[in-house]
Amino acid sequence: MSNTDTTIYRKIIKDGLWHNNPGLVQLLGLCPLMAVTTNFINGFGLGIATLVALVASNVAIAIVRHWIRPEIRIPVFVLIIAANVTLIELLMNAYFHELYNVLGLFIALIVTNCIVIGRAEIFASKNTPLHTLLDSTMMGLGFMLVLCVLGGLRELIAQGTLFSQAHLMFGESAKALTLTLGANYHGMLLAALPPGAFIGLGFLVALKNGIDTYLKQRSKTTPLKTAPLTTGEVA
């Protein structure tokens, strides 16, 4: 593996998880992001479904990218994505039926999720399958991360619990996973309602931007401190 390859991989990983995070920076796929994240497990479940759909369809698109004529690329992308999502939907219906019932329409709606078609158009149609595999995995993970954090936060504020419906995904034994914030906690229903999702996502975006600004300022000030020293020595 050459040096340029590692920098490309590193850039793809950083972009997907942080600098170009689909949930916090591109603000794509907001509909499922807002609607489903009423608790951690819902967010996690939809995150995984989106991740699998993203990876499977984008790798498929990257493989056949040379044979797709640019004039009809969008319908072809949509066909490939829809086929993959249908597969995932059937699999979830078979193996995670209860979670499938909770997430309902939003699994089928992954077809129209802007992240999937967006990455197909921006990345998969122009890059090798290997790069696409990494890119879509990282984008999917980045999206899943936001879904989980937002879902966890909203669940914590609205119900005072965490991982409350874990048994939908991990079987009956996972019921023990549920954390409760104390019996005296009055749930704040607002967090479970749509406004709570908007306010919560707003705070997450603000937090991300705040961290970025802080890091930028720190990297700006550190070289300044060392700069006069070196110039002084040269002089």
Query: Which one of 51-59, 78-86, 139-147, 193-201 is the stretch in contact with other proteins (CB under 8 A)?
Result: 193-201
Position among 90, 91, 190, 215 found at the interface with other proteins (CB under 8 A): 190
> Which x/- pattern, by CB under 8 A, does the window 195-234 give for other proteins?
x---x--x--------------------------------
Taking the complex as a whole, the smallest distance from the CB of residue 184 to other proteins amounts, in Å, to 8
186 binds other proteins (CB under 8 A): yes
Tell me the HSE value of 166 on the side-chain side, using a 13 A CA sphere: 15
181 binds other proteins (CB under 8 A): no
**Greatest CA separation found in the chain?**
74
Identify the CA nearest to 130 among candidates 69, 70, 78, 55: 55
Rounded (to 5) percent helix, strand, coil in the chain: 80, 0, 20
Backbone CA torsion sign across 119, 120, 126, 127: positive
What values do phi and psi take at 161, rounded to 5?
Answer: -125, 170
Question: Of 4 and 184, which CB lies nearer to other proteins in the complex structure?
Answer: 184
Position among 25, 174, 188, 204 found at the interface with other proteins (CB under 8 A): 188
Distances (CA, A) of 7 to 3, 10, 12, 28: 7, 5, 9, 26
108 binds other proteins (CB under 8 A): no
Q: Which residues bind other proteins (CB under 8 A)?
A: 186, 188-191, 193, 195, 199, 202
